[in-house]
Amino acid sequence: METSPKANPQFAKLPPICQTLFEAKKKKKISFEKIGQKIGRNEVWVAAVFYGQAKPTPEDIEKLSSVLDIPTSYMAADLGDNFFPDRGGLMSVPPTDPTLYRFYEIIQVYGYPMKQVIHEKFGDGIMSAIDFNMNIDKVEKPEGNRVIITLDGKFLPYKKF
């Protein structure tokens, strides 16, 4: 169940347009997945826009405006040319939300093993979070539903100089 923007302290750090987006989404009773399908974007990217973590193109703004019934001029004023995402900083570290804490815990426990496997397979470098895609899927199983998260980032070798 989605929390109301006014009832959730995480929204206090977001630009006002973000609250408008969440309110329109709630009013339309539409999921990030459906919005993404209607505008031709991944649901995680759409959610990132709602949190001020991604910059929509003018075409994205027009499509979002249409889907959410928010005037394009209003959205363009707040998400257009002068908007630049302020990525990160929305949560405390470690996060206190149980779902977010699990991701922190995964990195605490498996971060170095993941890093080593990347280095063994690719060499000295990192996975890009800029040239990057993510998918979240649900697999229903009798013993309990499973969350499948795919992180797909370009490998960036460290430059020798």
Binning pLDDT at 50, 70 and 90, where does residue 1 land?
very low
Residue 66 and residue 17 share a domain: yes
Residue 73 and residue 12 share a domain: yes
- When divided into structural domains, the chain yields a total of 2
Residue 132 and residue 73 share a domain: no
Q: Please indicate, yes or no, if residue 127 is contained in any of the structural domains.
A: yes
Residue 62 and residue 124 share a domain: no
pLDDT tens sequence across 16-67? 999 999 999 999 999 999 999 999 999 999 999 999 999 999 999 999 999 9
CB 80 within 8 A of CB 58: yes
pLDDT exceeds 90 at position 91: no
Binning pLDDT at 50, 70 and 90, where does residue 6 land?
low
Binning pLDDT at 50, 70 and 90, where does residue 74 land?
very high
* CATH at 70: 1.10.260.40
Residue 102 and residue 55 share a domain: no
End-to-end Cα distance, the chain: 51
pTM for this model (two decimals)? 0.83
Give the CA count within 13 Å in the CB-facing half-sphere of 76.
8
Q: Please indicate, yes or no, if residue 88 is contained in any of the structural domains.
A: no
Q: Please indicate, yes or no, if residue 71 is contained in any of the structural domains.
A: yes
Percent of the chain's residues with pLDDT above 70: 94
CA distance 62 to 40: 12
* CATH at 111: 3.30.1160.10
Report the run of H or E that residue 151 belongs to, with start and end: strand 146-157
Residue 56 and residue 121 share a domain: no
Per DSSP, what are the bridge partners of residue 127?
155
Active site (catalytic) residues: 102, 105, 128
Residue 27 and residue 62 share a domain: yes
Residues spanned by the domain of 17: 5-79
Residue 102 and residue 64 share a domain: no
